[in-house]
Amino acid sequence: MRPPFPPLQLILLLFILVMAISIIYLGVFAFALEKLGLSTHSAMLLLISTMLGSGINLPLFQMQAEAPSTEVQQMFRNWYFGHRLPFTGNTIVAINVGGAVIPICFSIYLFQVNPLPLSKVILAISIVAVISFAGSRPIKGIGIGMPIFLAPLVAALTALSITPDQSAPMAYICGTLGVLIGADLLRMKDVRKIGTPVASIGGAGTFDGIFLTGIVAVLLA
């Protein structure tokens, strides 16, 4: 039976699809960052830095951990600086540049340039952190999992309720920092049980990681 598309045509269609999705992502994210007061050039610089940084994990320390089941070991693939690491009984705890370091620095910047009361910022972060902790679960051999749109929705609603006039910067700050605290730092004790060679704070890439939480929260706020 003849395939619906010749191989070359199929590859071209896939390439066009990927490019179209990328343009949409970049356009949406650039709009969200401009909503936070960044210029177009600054927004693109932040996006590019985040995308490049999402592939960089900086090791912090390591801890002893339980081995995953055989089934999970066969399915699990973990890449660290371009190399697949086997599980040897220890988990390296790292921090992701694109998913943690840059969002933290950008949150500090937003707090400094916007009239946000510290008490309200702490309250908003605490709300998102508590719900992120309650909604996240350790997944054997993989890491900490959480419904992807839970934190953005909570962050947006929290920002609109606490600081309606400054909802965009508040949504980004409480969305990113709240998830980092609730789903990563407060779940650190669970890292020993998931049996993964590397546990990255703020990992899981750019578009489905901490950065996405902040961006979606801003769009909803």
Q: What is the pLDDT of residues 103-120, one digit of tens each?
A: 999 999 999 999 899 999
Domain that holds residue 143: 7-220
pLDDT at res. 79: 40
Alpha-carbon dihedral angle through residues 95, 123, 135, 50, given to the nearest 10 degrees: -30
Q: Which residue has the tokens 């927004």?
A: 43
Query: Confidence class of residue 76 from pLDDT cuts 50, 70 and 90?
Result: very low
Query: How many whole angstroms separate alpha carbon 185 and alpha carbon 144?
Result: 11
| Residue 47, in any domain of the structure | yes
Q: Let me know if residue 70 belongs to a domain.
A: yes
Question: Quick one: 140 exposed, middle or buried, by C-beta within 10 A (0-12, 13-18, 19+)?
Answer: middle
Inside any domain, residue 1: no
What's the rounded mean pLDDT across residues 153-169?
A: 91
> Is residue 104 in some structural domain?
yes
Nearest to 177 by CA among 137, 122, 134: 122
Q: What pLDDT does residue 78 have? A: 41
Could you please report the per-residue DSSP string of 191-216?
HHHH--SEEEET-S-STTSHHHHHHH
What is the average pLDDT value for the chain, to the nearest integer?
75
> How many CB atoms lie under 10 A from the CB of residue 103?
29
pLDDT more than 90, % of the chain: 22
Whether 216 is in a domain gets the answer: yes
Residue 61 lies in a domain: yes
Asked if pLDDT for residue 11 goes beyond 60, the answer is yes
> What is residue 105's predicted lDDT score, i.e. its pLDDT?
93
**Mean per-residue pLDDT for 6-24?**
56
Residue 122 main-chain phi, psi, to 5 deg: -65, -40
**Cα distance from N-terminal residue to C-terminal residue, the chain:** 51
CB 176 within 8 A of CB 214: yes
The tokens for 11 are 């590859």
Amino acid 81: pLDDT: 41
- For residue 206, is pLDDT > 60? no
Overall number of domains in the chain: 1
Residue 2 lies in a domain: no
**Does some domain include residue 141?**
yes
What confidence score (pLDDT) does residue 189 get? 81
Q: Find the angle CA(168)-CA(50)-CA(62) to the nearest 5 degrees.
A: 110
Amino acid at 133: F
